[in-house]
Structure 1
Amino acid sequence: MALEAWFDRDAEDPTIVHTAEELDAVLDAVAALPRPSTLQLLIADDLGRAVLDVGLDGAHARGVLYYSGAECPNGCASQGTDAAEVLPIYYYMGSDTEYPATTEIPSTDVRRAAHEYMATGGERPTGIKWQPWFD
């Protein structure tokens, strides 16, 4: 299953990801950015099927997820166990996005979810607790 990965604001085209190793390389690149950042994953052969935004804060080993697809057409976000005092902000290609206060989860869970999204062809990852996107 090929994914389009959008994260490089200077790129005219997405990075096409075909393998787990290529996905790890993209996730590593985002985690290495100097501030919490996101990438957007789309199914390359069916761009309208689903979207998974994957946020990684490499300095703190945490991240966020946003999913929109058949299982959650109005969008949903990962739900962690702790509430941040200030809404978490993750950057996508130069623009900032606030996430719900309880959205951050361990980066290992974020990475596993990205791999599951790829393996299932765009299904909402399981093993993640989900919450509505800003009620």
Structure 2
Amino acid sequence: MVALEAWFDRDATEPTIVDTPAGLDGVLDTVAGWPGPNTVQLLIAEDPGHAILDVGLDAEYGRGVLYYSGPDAPDGVTSKGAHVSDPPPIYYFTGSDTEYPADAELPLDVVRRAAHEYMTSGGARPTGIEWQSR
């Protein structure tokens, strides 16, 4: 398990460091509690350039999205789910919006599980997720 830098607060000048599963849940709960689809960016605290996992959470609809970039996916990949949104979903990160593929959304519990796997694996791409090119 590694400590993560969590970026999600547009007014923060430094990341929130999470080093326990409970701490990660606290950050995910905070972002999920905001209105609309929002994103938290997770980086390995000791090596922020190693890999990135963006975790989008939309509690109102019970869905979320994932974006991963790391050694095995240097160009980045997004999650691929069964649900197709029309128009494609847009998730917000500190005031900026990102459009995801129409089929990128997954159930919230799957997205949260992926965030925990990223933490426990030391920043590896979460397994059990179907990924697609960005």
TM-score, normalised with respect to structure 1: 0.97
Q: Which residue of 1 aligns with 2:56?
A: 55
Q: Map Cα deviations across residues 38-66 of structure 1 (whole Å, 9 max, x no partner).
A: 01000000111000000000111110000
Structure 1 Cα separation of the partners of residues 15 and 108 of structure 2: 23
Q: 2:43 matched to 1:42?
A: yes
Letter in 2 for 1:118: M
Q: Which residue of 1 aligns with 2:67?
A: 66
Structure 2 Cα separation of the partners of residues 85 and 17 of structure 1: 35
Q: Map Cα deviations across residues 57-81 of structure 1 (whole Å, 9 max, x no partner).
A: 0111110000000111110000001
State the number of aligned residues.
133
Deviation at 1:84, TM superposition (A): 1.1
Deviation at 1:82, TM superposition (A): 2.1
Structure 2 Cα separation of the partners of residues 72 and 102 of structure 1: 19
Structure 2 Cα separation of the partners of residues 82 and 23 of structure 1: 26
**What does 1:1-135 correspond to in 2, within 5 Å?**
1-133=2-134
Q: Map Cα deviations across residues 7-59 of structure 1 (whole Å, 9 max, x no partner).
A: 00011110000000000000000000111000100000011100000000011
Q: Map Cα deviations across residues 107-134 of structure 1 (whole Å, 9 max, x no partner).
A: 000000000000001000001110101x
Say which SS state the counterpart of residue 73 (structure 1) adopts: strand
Structure 1 Cα separation of the partners of residues 131 and 92 of structure 2: 21
Structure 1 Cα separation of the partners of residues 42 and 90 of structure 2: 19
Structure 1 Cα separation of the partners of residues 117 and 62 of structure 2: 19
Unaligned runs of 5+ in 1: none
Query: Which stretches of structure 1, 4 residues or more, deviate above 6 A after TM superposition?
Result: none
Unaligned runs of 5+ in 2: none
TM-score, normalised with respect to structure 2: 0.98
Query: How much is the aligned-residue C-alpha RMSD, in angstroms?
Result: 0.5
